[in-house]
């Protein structure tokens, strides 16, 4: 077995990313899209981090510098590597697809499958952030967060919303235990001149819609389930995660854990694919 294979491990709270462990090093292959903004001398707030403090080819966004897309990046954004310390303190490098610069940062700008007024996203996508600003959760039970969390009343219906540039209906790919009771749908999305499959993962459901089975089509407005706290006792919320299926992977043939393994699908910032309000 190759060292790289031996170093693969599971990061459960960040959507079971199968990540590659880079032993003793924070250096990843490929350029991370976000890089920590340099420490300013004195007591400058992030607002004072002028563009001049970010390296050429990047702009400040909060406390990070966001790399501007290269001209030859085209309309599509390839997966980038990032990293964080796992629960054992090891530095783990993973792939993720960060928010594209032209997509609004404000979570309130998007449509969600549950009723959502202002501030309904309480925990956002942070796998593109520096390690020390990623979610840790209670008892270090989380390491980063590759999704958005939407607290709702228990039993709130979850109603499918199409993704941006989605082609046709979503199709149910999985119903059962994963992140508590979970429904996964597969959506074909036109991007960068081609059609790609995305997965939408609805986690911690009280229950799926009765009769929802793998292969069923889910049209806009159709219910997929009800908000609950399975797998997250007393924290009633919808965990909504989006992942881009790797080219050539036939998701329907995979077990649910393999569907969301990094080798088969790459976690992406939901703001890239959710529709704007
Ligand atoms: Zn979550």
- Consecutive 10-residue averages of pLDDT for the chain (277 residues): 38 36 33 36 32 52 52 53 84 92 96 92 90 74 86 97 97 97 97 94 98 97 97 93 96 94 96 96
Q: 93 alpha carbon to ligand 1 midpoint, in Å?
A: 20
What residues does each domain of the chain span? 3-272
pLDDT at res. 131: 84
- The predicted pLDDT at position 138 comes to 62
CA of 18 to the centre of ligand 1 (A): 17
Q: How far does residue 143's CA lie from ligand 1's centre (Å)?
A: 11
Kindly give, in sequence order, each residue whose CB lies less than 8 Å from that of residue 233, ignoring residues fewer than 6 positions away: none
- Tell me how far the alpha carbon of residue 40 lies from the centroid of ligand 1, in angstroms: 33
3-state helix, strand, coil in the chain (%, to 5): 15, 40, 50
Residue 180's pLDDT is 97
CA of 42 to the centre of ligand 1 (A): 36
Q: How far is the CA of 149 from the centre of ligand 1 (A)?
A: 5
Confidence (pLDDT) at 13? 38
Q: Tell me phi and psi for residue 91, to 5 degrees.
A: -80, 125
Instruction: Find tokens 């969600």 and name the residue.
Output: 112
Q: How far is the CA of 1 from the centre of ligand 1 (A)?
A: 33
- 270 CA → ligand 1 middle, Å: 12
Pairwise CA distance, residues 125 & 109, whole Å: 15
pLDDT at 244: 97
pLDDT computed for residue 139 by the predictor: 60
Please, what sign has the CA dihedral across residues 111, 114, 115, 121? negative
- Cβ contacts of residue 166 below 8 Å, gap of 6+? 187, 188, 189
CA 72 to ligand 1 centroid distance, Å: 34
The confidence score (pLDDT) of residue 273 equals 97
Is the pTM here over 0.75, yes or no? no
Span from the CA of 239 to the centroid of ligand 1 (angstroms): 4
Q: How far is the CA of 106 from the centre of ligand 1 (A)?
A: 17
Contact 171, 217 (CB under 8 A): yes
Determine the pLDDT at residue 55: 55
The CATH code of domain 3-272 reads 2.70.70.10
Task: Compute the distance between CA of residue 172 and CA of residue 217 in angstroms, rounded to an integer.
Answer: 6
Expressed in angstroms and rounded, the spacing between residue 55 Cα and the centre of ligand 1 is 32
Distances (CA, A) of 30 to 70, 141, 164, 180: 14, 28, 28, 34
CA of residue 240 to ligand 1 center, whole Å: 7
- Assign 215 to helix, strand or coil: coil
- The CA 179 to ligand 1 mean position distance, Å, reads 9
Q: How many A from CA of 43 to the centre of ligand 1?
A: 34
């Amino acid at each position: 077995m190759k060292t790289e294979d031996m170093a693969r491990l599971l990061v459960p709270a960040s959507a079971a990313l199968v990540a590659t462990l880079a032993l003793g090093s924070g250096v990843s292959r490929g350029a991370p899209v976000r890089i920590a903004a340099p420490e300013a001398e004195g007591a400058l707030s992030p607002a004072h981090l002028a563009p001049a403090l970010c390296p050429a080819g990047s702009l400040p966004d909060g406390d990070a510098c966001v790399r501007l897309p290269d001209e030859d990046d085209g309309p599509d954004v390839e997966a980038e590597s990032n990293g964080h310390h796992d629960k054992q303190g090891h530095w783990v490098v993973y792939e993720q697809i960060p928010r594209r610069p032209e997509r609004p940062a404000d979570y309130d700008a998007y449509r969600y499958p549950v009723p959502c007024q202002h501030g309904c996203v309480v925990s956002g996508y942070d796998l593109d952030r520096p390690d020390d600003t990623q979610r840790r959760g209670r008892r270090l039970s989380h390491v980063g967060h590759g999704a958005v969390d939407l607290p709702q009343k228990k039993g709130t219906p979850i109603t499918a919303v199409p993704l941006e540039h989605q082609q046709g209906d979503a199709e149910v790919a999985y119903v059962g235990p994963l992140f508590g009771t979970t429904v996964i749908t597969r959506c074909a999305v036109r991007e960068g001149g081609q059609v790609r499959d995305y997965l939408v993962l609805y986690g911690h459901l009280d229950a799926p819609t009765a009769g929802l089975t793998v292969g069923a089509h889910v049209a806009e407005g159709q219910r997929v389930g009800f908000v609950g706290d399975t797998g997250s006792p007393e924290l009633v919320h919808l965990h909504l995660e989006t992942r881009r299926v790797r080219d050539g992977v036939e998701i329907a043939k995979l077990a649910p854990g393999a569907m969301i393994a990094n080798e088969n699908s790459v976690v992406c910032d939901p703001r890239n694919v959710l529709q704007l309000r």
